[in-house]
Structure 1
Amino acid sequence: MKVKFIGGAGTVTGSKTLIESNGIRILIDCGLFQGVKPLRELNWEPLTILPSTIDFVLLTHGHLDHCGWLPRLVNQGFDGKIYCTSPTKDITKLILLDSAKIQEEEAKKANEGKYSKHQIAEPLYTVEQAEKVFPLFKVIKTNEPVSLDAQIEAVFTIAGHILGASSIALTLENKTLVFSGDIGRDDDVLMYPPTKPKKADYVFLESTYGDRLHPHTDTKLELETFINNTVENGGTVIIPSFAVERAQTIMYLLWQLREQGKIPYIPYIVDTPMGINALNIFSSNIKWHKLPLEVCAEMNKMFSLVSDYQETIEMIFDEQPKVVIAASGMATGGRVLSYLEKYIVLPQTTVIFVGYQAEGTRGRKLLEGAKEIKIHGQYYPVKAKILEIRGLSAHGDQKDLLNWLSDLENKPSKVFLVHGENEPLDELRIKVYEKYGFDCKVPLMGQEFEL
């Protein structure tokens, strides 16, 4: 049995782990690379193996860095089954369609504005190509074994993080391989705690926050303070947000604050078509999160839900103070860029980041103090206040990741640390060894191991 790391190794994006056993090939996740240009360029490269030789894809969840390369995989010949939970199927459809639309729009803008380095800019994939993925989905239930082959079995368990997110235990050749996916927080506002594995011969553990602990700050108080200070100065608050789960968490906190009379009655806007559709998925998957259905309904009434781009233009040029939640969460694309073009040059604006910002993304650059930012081929001076609320991350921190390993009844042969940048990976490696004595390996991109 072999494992090959063809994504998500030494970086937090592009998750792809290939397992090969007795002629069967299984790909765990099929994510898009994001961030610095050398990583983004990998999205255009063919896989090191033929997609047509992959038998199954197992999806841990529907974020772009875990599912966003599926249209390329299918376009290049994959026609096997894609196993996932029901919410993951629905979310992945939204994510892929949104991603395809954004890429088509950006290619069109680049061609019209002539700011592409290519003679003709092309999207990585089209809406039509994204739609060809959907017939391959096969929905499974959590905690119920799924036979992929006569001697291969998979069990999906709740991972927290977002709706439908799962860890996957894969049993083959009398060994159990456990893939964490993205691990949620033990004390998340909306999601239930992750299910901890009991047995594993090999563990593949995400390491996004492997070197840090989430601060014990009052997240609601931070939101309240930032919004009130901005509104007093006549400014607008822009919250770049992942459309799935983070947007709903922020909406819930803002609803609570306004119900308590702690923030003003100004327009509160959710401007992400995908986020609006995600609200429907949220309401129809009550067992996956903590919010009662009636609270979801009341919360939604507080917000102007913008889907038509003409409405977006009207909101942008409405200069009254407002709070805007718009995708994407790392400001790599989406409607939030249209707001930033107008508002990032104004000192009374506040931009609040609420999730992990990968290396090379606009979000990371802004948090690191960039004086100007490039959007759609133009540079804009950064005059707005750039703030971060770290307590809203959907990822477990170092303590949560270590705790996720705490119920293992045996000592794994190896723990592979993936989906992290270099410092978090190395820090978590040390911590796992100190706490449990587990042998940890930090694989490099493209590296292959025999298990």
Structure 2
Amino acid sequence: MIKRETSVDEILKEMREIINQMVPKEAKITEVEFEGPELVIYVKNPEVLMRDGELIKNLAKVLKKRISVRPDPDVLLPPEKAEELIKELVPAEAEITNISFDPSVGEVLIEAKKPGLVIGKNGETLRLITQKVYWAPRVIRTPPLQSQTIYSIRQILQSESKDRRKFLRQVGRNIYRKPELKSDWIRITGLGGWREVGRSALLLQTNESNVLVDFGINVAALHDPKKAVPHFDAPEFQYVLKEGLLDAIIITHAHLDHSGLLPYLFRFNLFDGPIYTTPPTRDLMVLLQKDFIEIQQSNGVPPLYRPKDIKEVVKHTITLEYGEVRDISPDIRLTLHNAGHILGSSIAHLHVGNGLHNIAVTGDFKFIPTRLFEPANSRFPRLETLIMESTYGASKDYQLPRDEAEKRLMEVILRTIKRGGKVLIPAMSVGRSQEIMMVLEEYARIGGMEVPVYLDGMIWEATAIHTAYPEYLSRHLREQIFHEGYNPFLSEIFHPVANSNERKDIIESREPAIIIASSGMLVGGPSVEYFKNLASDEKNSVIFVSYQAEGTLGRRVQRGLREIPVAGESGKTEVIKVNMEVHTIDGFSGHADRRELINYVARVKPRPERVITVHGETQKCLDLASSIHKKFSISTRAPNNLDAIRLK
């Protein structure tokens, strides 16, 4: 340990000498330190560095590090005084709605309805704020829907700022513990999600580093812990956890099968390092993890983790925007790219060693434009191994074209409404719900549909998070929101369901309605309650718009079972008679279908030397791997869980 500390201190000493030569003395540098994947320079006069827009860029080139400049904590005005001054400096017309402080990074977040007025002409107002309050200002547009999740995350980061800074410094020293390290070998092991859908977890190891990509839970298999959680019994994983050698965890997106078991690691002190993901993924995974706890409790099952464990996830998460390159260990560099699956979903590109090997892990991805997102990124600086999902990898797994899917959706809805019935659309809170919302909003606006659309479960809160990150949405949606001044998420047809009493009123009402409720597979959540109460009436319809995993209630309904035994509230088994119409419209999936998967391999640049197919039922992984090999003459594999593959 002493040797590592000395090595880092020597690196910092050399860097500080270079920084002192390049930075004007009047900036008054007080400290230079690694914090997470960044080199942080603390100064007493940050406005000096703001005058020269090229200085930090030049420093980054010379030092070959991502650099942040922060005000020395001693010069920061007290938050109350700083807030008062900011409100004096910013024109009232900007309509500031919230000011919050993050002492761990010396940053003040200013939310305003007109952010341009906070920034000022050529950034003049921002510079003035920096000069007067010293906090580094970050300006965002006020989201039209307030998210309790985002608010609570900010509160955690603010209240835990001292611990957070200490944590970031530990991470930084761990990342840069060995300079100019060259890796000798790379190995990956499937801990979950190989030849199956659910509990995705991949362990990547080099002679110096250990990194996890995703750590999910299979909610459809909670009755069987051996199938619900990743393989803790893998010898290499046991060793890494026992010795505290896990450098980092990367989360590709928020769905529980990719992020749902993270808090478990903190509950049992199995990990104390950094989690890397995009800002929207951090917020959404916290929302879904909290919801998972509540569903377990409502079903009388002891939760796998506690709210305070989710708080630890927040404290340990380092967010990255798309395209930002960051060192996450001595020999691994990470870049996240758009995956087009859900808000903030990413393809993780890992540059290992000094040019030794490059890996892209797609997570779940979509390779056509949707109403919500642009297609997945397919261009990388370098790429030798592609690890890709195979959810719809079989030769006949072709989804309907999106316009045809939307047409069929509306046909079923209008037919059901005409006969006075209700339409239940079970959907994941994140992703499919918002996609369906956009279809219904456009039809109501253009076609005049007037029935209410009820949103139940976590859907409204997830939608609020979507409105907080418009820059992650499709070009078309951004155009509507920013240039046309219309936000389709705020349409008057949408009605959030606040509680069980409102849910009961909707069920008992004789008026037709559309209900979008989580979960998407009828595994817990309000969608199950709606289904139980609406299934017997032949006037009603249920429409499945997303993947139904084996073993779920949704899969049994989808298969056409007309009498389904389920556990009742008293614990006794009750039989649900399914008289309602059952429809599956698969064109709305956030997963790439067979055509998209093949097209992705055809278009990805540079062409990989090896493709590994995961995240799909056994036959789908095998089918896709075989087809890619035959079509592109690329080496392919469809490994099992616990298989270890040497990449280099």
Tell me the distance in 2 between the aligned counterparts of 1:286 and 1:90: 14
In the alignment, structure 1 residue 2 sits paired with structure 2 residue 187: yes
* Root mean square deviation of aligned Cα: 2.0
Residue in 1 that maps onto 2:630: 434
Letter in 1 for 2:387: F
Tell me the distance in 2 between the aligned counterparts of 1:270 and 1:147: 41
- Residue pair 2:200, 2:230 contacting (<8 A) in 1 also: no
Shift of 1:220: 2.6
Inter-CA distance 25–39: structure 2 relative to 1 (3 Å threshold) = farther
Shift of 1:357: 1.2
Inter-CA distance 341–347: structure 2 relative to 1 (3 Å threshold) = same
1:199-278 aligned within 5 A: 199-211=382-394, 212-216=397-401, 218-261=404-447, 263=449, 265-272=450-457, 274-278=458-462
Residue in 2 that maps onto 1:177: 359
Residue in 2 that maps onto 1:117: none
1:69-84 aligned within 5 A: 69-76=261-268, 77-84=270-277
Letter in 2 for 1:318: S
TM-score, with length taken from structure 2: 0.64
Question: Residue by residue, what CA displacement relative to the aligned partner does 1:131-190 show, whole Å, maximum 9, x if unpaired?
Answer: 332211110121121101232101111111111011011111311111011111313222
For residue 42 of structure 1, give the secondary structure of its aligned residue in structure 2: helix
For residue 415 of structure 1, give the secondary structure of its aligned residue in structure 2: strand
Unmatched 5+ residue regions in structure 1? Answer: 108-120
Question: Residue by residue, what CA displacement relative to the aligned partner does 1:274-301 show, whole Å, maximum 9, x if unpaired?
Answer: 2111112211211211213244356432
Question: Residue by residue, what CA displacement relative to the aligned partner does 1:55-102 show, whole Å, maximum 9, x if unpaired?
Answer: 210011111111011121222321110000111111111111111111
Residue in 1 that maps onto 2:542: 351
For residue 430 of structure 2, give the secondary structure of its aligned residue in structure 1: coil
TM-score, with length taken from structure 1: 0.91
1:315-334 aligned within 5 A: 315-334=506-525
Tell me the distance in 1 between the aligned counterparts of 2:358 and 2:224: 31
Letter in 1 for 2:463: L
Question: Residue by residue, what CA displacement relative to the aligned partner does 1:361-382 show, whole Å, maximum 9, x if unpaired?
Answer: 1111111112223443433122
Residue in 1 that maps onto 2:215: 30
- Residue pair 2:563, 2:575 contacting (<8 A) in 1 also: yes
Tell me the distance in 2 between the aligned counterparts of 1:298 and 1:42: 37
Pick the structure with more helix per residue. Answer: 2
Unmatched 5+ residue regions in structure 2? Answer: 1-185, 569-573
- Residue pair 1:44, 1:124 contacting (<8 A) in 2 also: no
Residue in 2 that maps onto 1:376: 567
Tell me the distance in 1 between the aligned counterparts of 2:272 and 2:579: 49
Inter-CA distance 283–20: structure 2 relative to 1 (3 Å threshold) = same
Inter-CA distance 243–448: structure 2 relative to 1 (3 Å threshold) = same
Tell me the distance in 1 between the aligned counterparts of 2:643 and 2:414: 50
- Residue pair 2:406, 2:439 contacting (<8 A) in 1 also: yes
* Rg larger for: 2
Shift of 1:242: 1.0
In the alignment, structure 1 residue 186 sits paired with structure 2 residue 368: yes
1:411-426 aligned within 5 A: 412-426=608-622
Residue in 2 that maps onto 1:286: 470
Deviates further, 296-305 or 282-291 = 296-305
- Residue pair 1:12, 1:420 contacting (<8 A) in 2 also: yes
Tell me the distance in 2 between the aligned counterparts of 1:288 and 1:21: 33
Letter in 2 for 1:288: Y
Tell me the distance in 1 between the aligned counterparts of 2:532 and 2:310: 29
Tell me the distance in 1 between the aligned counterparts of 2:414 and 2:605: 50
Residue in 2 that maps onto 1:116: none
Letter in 1 for 2:364: D
Residue in 2 that maps onto 1:47: 232
Shift of 1:38: 7.1
For residue 208 of structure 1, give the secondary structure of its aligned residue in structure 2: coil
Aligned length: 436
Q: Percent identity?
A: 28
Residue in 2 that maps onto 1:364: 555
Deviates further, 160-169 or 37-46 = 37-46
Pick the aligned partner of 1:166 from 346, 366, 381: 346
Letter in 2 for 1:56: A
Shift of 1:23: 3.8
Inter-CA distance 180–298: structure 2 relative to 1 (3 Å threshold) = closer
